[in-house]
Structure 1
Amino acid sequence: MSSADAVIREAAWLSSFSPTDGLPALLAAQDGPFDVVQPYHPRTPASRQRQLYVLRRRIQEVRTANVRRMARHLFELRIVWPASSPTGSAEVVQQSLDEAVELVLQRIGGLMLDKTHGGRFLSVAEDPAEVAVDFADPAPSLRDRADLTCIISYSADDVEING
């Protein structure tokens, strides 16, 4: 593992699904809410699709011992949610975004007693034990028939290395 592939590892966790682990699916192909779950933001994002992009905002090198260090990643999940519904109700669209965010939070929380995201990290959302969700004001998006957006941020500690 390398800190260079942390975004790819986290996107793999978010898009993975096992019907036996109790965690929700996020991809629409597995009955989840998102059409797109991918690492990095594309040059030309899909239009009118429910999208989740995994980005990294920061890497912090943490010295854990004299010759040991660990990379701490600050992840940002950027959600883009179409502001349209078959009923034309703006409230229904906002509620469906809230429901999708809840599923993402469950997926970030991971398995009971395993905060490693399937062994991809030492721990996720544990130090600090915080996940933040910031919603953009929906009024301009609804007025302009644009997409609703929100950002979910949290940290992940990578495996320790000598250095």
Structure 2
Amino acid sequence: MSLYQDFKPSILFLAKFIGLYIILNVVYGFYLDASKGKADIMTQWVTEQTADIIDLYEDKISTGPKEDLKSIFIFKDARAVLSVYEGCNGLNVMVIFIAFLFAYGNLSKSMLWFIPLGILVIHLFNLLRILLLFHVTISMPDFLYFSHKYLFTAFIYIAVFGMWALWIFKVNEK
């Protein structure tokens, strides 16, 4: 029984985190199913925002649906450069971020402003990630797989870990 008592805080954290993560992922799945085989609204929004940023310094940037309808292309000069799929919209990373905060502590006043701030930071990092992938696709296409799979995935998760550390050591009221 002493072993359980020693690890009780860790076990409770993991149970809360996994439970909330599963619940939020089920809700996310229903959200994706509601898109009826098309790209979801968040994916459209993220793709449009990225294209708008690129359009500030590049000519002839546009977006349009991919044949599978679950992805959206970013075009340059009417040539499809990058396909943005639902997994690129940042929502799953936001789910992980939120699940951690709730698992770490109870709802508090600081959580009411830190969660929206964290979601905004994740969104901005995700826009930057897609923007960089666009440029990697154009200038170093052989580097795209590594950039997408490892480099820029690490990039966004390092931002999340940084926000978690900020929460644990500076913001949380415990």
TM norm. shorter chain > 0.5? no
TM-score range, shorter chain: 0.3 to 0.5
Which structure has the highest strand share of the two? 1
Which structure has the highest helix share of the two? 2
Output the TM-score relative to the length of structure 1.
0.32
Whose relative contact order is higher, 1 or 2, with alpha carbons under 8 Å and at least 6 apart? Answer: 1
Higher radius of gyration, 1 or 2 = 2
Output the TM-score relative to the length of structure 2.
0.31
